[in-house]
């Protein structure tokens, strides 16, 4: 080794000897402290963003509609990753169904899950967002109008007119509701005149125009009312809910198809102040979970309705009929009368109807021209639907 090499090595060794290295014990003590500090730093955001819990009351005490409400809640809770939680309360937990909207407006509840017809008493135009006239469309096109045809803007205009502090989402396009349960088979409209009948929303006005005496009752009171003779006939919504209520025990004559409530959807409303106070991503979860539940509702409920209709006929002895075209034609005429009446007295009602007609005329022209006759295909393979179930 050269003298220069020896000199460099000597300096290097001296330099290394001069370095103060930590003891093993001190090293691990320092590492532990550093790890704890890092863990605390990571934990801090979780502590600061503890889950926000929203108290939401449903209009349903049980049955398939409460299942649907819970399906929406499950989506929200899972999508939020623990940052947002909905605590779903069954019917009448905090307030009565008729008081839910006001309770959400005042902040007594954070939200509610119901249908627009349940606050029809505040404004007849509310029913147009759920159970209005049929312009040849189904509930899917109703929701299309709400989301893309100007309906959402009109909904919030109505909220402003009524001074309601609400944010609302619509989902779950429902099939047309059956005409319902009667003591005999209905073959013509004249048989319905004078009957005491249960329905809700604008449908009450329409069937009243047809000569029926209409009573608006909550779902759970329908069967007892018909059993006691308080009402002669009734509808609620679908074969599953109807059978859950026990309607087959008070009537054996069930009529499917009707224009009295040919489209409807759920409305999920939140207190606007509470909603605005959420982080933007949580607001979007509440909205997008509603859109996702729209598809899930159709897939989940349609099969259940079909299964329970088969059960009603084949196991419980219920006679299943399709409401005659003549009755449904008379319903459309009654709708014309009622719509004209409200348009004359309520400019906002007229504004909503005009918007719906513009959307339905254009969209349904395409859909009706493009859709093949699915009934033709069904009969080709299975025969008449009333005989196939």
User: Which range among 124-128, 160-164, 385-389 shows the weakest confidence by mean pLDDT?
Assistant: 385-389
Which residue, 351, 374, 146, 156, is CA-closest to 263?
Answer: 146
- Please report which helix (H) or strand (E) contains residue 172, including its range: strand 166-174
List the strands of the sheet with 253-256, edge to edge: 213-215, 196-198, 233-234, 180-182, 253-256, 319-322
Per-residue pLDDT, 232:
96
2-17 pLDDT, tens per residue? 444 444 344 433 333 3
State how far the Cα of 242 lies from the Cα of 180, in Å rounded to an integer: 9
Over the stretch 46-68, which tens digit does the pLDDT of each residue have?
Answer: 334 568 999 999 999 899 999 99
| % of the chain surpassing 70 pLDDT | 87
Angstrom distance (rounded) from CA 73 to CA 65:
13
Average pLDDT rounded to a whole number, residues 18-22: 42
pLDDT the model gives residue 49? 53
Is pLDDT at 168 greater than 80 in this prediction? yes
**pLDDT reading at 143 higher than 90:** yes
The answer to whether residue 195 scores a pLDDT higher than 60 is yes
Q: Tell me the pLDDT band of 159, cut-offs 50, 70 and 90.
A: very high
E strands, 176-248, are 180-182, 196-198, 213-215, 233-234
pLDDT at 73: 97
The H or E element containing residue 57 is: strand 52-58
Dist. CA 216–CA 141, nearest whole Å: 27
pLDDT of residue 249: 96
Residue pLDDT, tens place only, 214-226: 998 888 889 999 9
Enter the CATH code of domain 47-174+264-301. Answer: 3.40.190.170
User: Is the Cβ–Cβ distance between 59 and 97 less than 8 Å?
Assistant: yes
Indicate the pLDDT class of residue 22, thresholds 50, 70 and 90: very low
> So what's the pLDDT on residue 200?
87
Starting at the edge strand found earlier in the chain, the sheet holding 111-114 runs: 84-89, 52-58, 111-114, 264-271, 166-174
Which residue has tokens 């329970």?
Answer: 308
Tell me how far apart the alpha carbons of residues 1 and 7 are, in angstroms, rounded to a whole number: 10
240 with 219: CB under 8 angstroms?
no
Q: For residue 20, is pLDDT > 60?
A: no
In the prediction, which pLDDT does 216 show?
A: 84
Burial of 317 (0-12, 13-18, 19+ CB in 10 A): exposed
| Over residues 344-350, mean pLDDT | 97
Question: Is 115 within 8 Å of 170 (Cβ atoms)?
Answer: no
Assess whether pLDDT exceeds 70 at residue 130: yes
pLDDT at position 46 is 39
pLDDT at 201: 87
Longest C-alpha distance within the chain, in Å? 124
Mean pLDDT of 224-240: 95
pLDDT at 17: 39
Average pLDDT over every residue of 341-363: 98
> What's the mean pLDDT in 289-302?
94
Q: Which of 23-27, 52-56, 107-111, 184-188 has the lowest mean pLDDT?
A: 23-27
Confidence of residue 331 (pLDDT cuts 50, 70, 90): very high
pLDDT surpasses 80 at 374: yes
Residue 251 confidence (pLDDT): 97
Q: What is the CA radius of gyration of the chain?
A: 31
Contact 213, 195 (CB under 8 A): yes
First to last CA, the chain: 103
| pLDDT higher than 90, residue 89 | yes
Q: Domain residue spans in the chain? A: 47-174+264-301
Q: Is the pLDDT at 85 greater than 70, yes or no?
A: yes
Q: Which residues pair with 181 in a beta bridge?
A: 234, 254
């Amino acid at each position: 080794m050269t003298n220069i090499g020896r000199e460099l090595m000597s300096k290097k060794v001296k330099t290394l000897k001069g370095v103060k290295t930590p003891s093993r014990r001190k090293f691990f003590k320092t590492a532990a402290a550093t790890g704890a500090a890092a863990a605390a730093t990571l934990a801090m955001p979780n502590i600061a963003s503890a889950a926000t819990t929203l108290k939401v009351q449903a209009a349903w005490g049980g049955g398939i509609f409460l299942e649907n409400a819970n399906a929406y809640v499950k989506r929200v809770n899972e999508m939020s990753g623990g940052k947002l939680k909905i605590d779903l309360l069954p019917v009448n937990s905090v307030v009565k169904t008729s008081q839910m909207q006001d309770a959400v407006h005042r902040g007594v509840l954070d939200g509610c899950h119901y249908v627009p017809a349940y606050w029809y008493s505040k404004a007849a135009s509310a029913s147009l967002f759920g159970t209005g006239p049929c312009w040849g469309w189904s509930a899917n096109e109703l929701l299309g109008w709400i989301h893309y045809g100007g309906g959402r803007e009109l909904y919030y205009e109505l909220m402003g007119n009524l001074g309601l502090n609400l944010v609302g989402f619509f989902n779950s396009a429902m099939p047309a509701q059956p005409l319902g349960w009667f003591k005999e088979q209905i073959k013509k409209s004249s048989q319905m005149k004078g009957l005491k009948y249960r329905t809700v929303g604008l449908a009450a006005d329409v069937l009243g125009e047809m000569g029926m005496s209409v009573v608006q009752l909550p779902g759970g009171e329908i069967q007892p009312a018909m059993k006691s003779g308080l009402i002669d006939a009734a509808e609620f919504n679908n074969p599953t809910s109807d059978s859950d209520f026990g309607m087959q025990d008070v009537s054996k004559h069930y009529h499917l198809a009707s224009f009295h409530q040919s489209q409807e959807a759920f409305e999920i409303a939140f207190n606007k102040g509470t909603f605005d106070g959420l982080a933007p991503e949580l607001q979007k979860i509440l909205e997008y979970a509603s859109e996702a539940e729209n598809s899930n509702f159709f897939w989940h409920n349609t099969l259940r309705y079909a299964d329970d209709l088969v059960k009603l006929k084949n196991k419980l002895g219920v006679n299943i009929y399709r409401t005659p075209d003549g009755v449904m034609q008379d319903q459309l005429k009654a709708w014309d009368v009622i719509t004209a009446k409200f348009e004359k007295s309520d400019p906002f009602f007229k504004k909503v109807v005009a918007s719906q007609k513009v959307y339905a005329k254009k969209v349904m022209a395409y859909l009706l021209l493009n859709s093949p006759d699915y009934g033709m295909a069904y009969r080709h393979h299975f025969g008449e639907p009333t005989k196939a179930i």
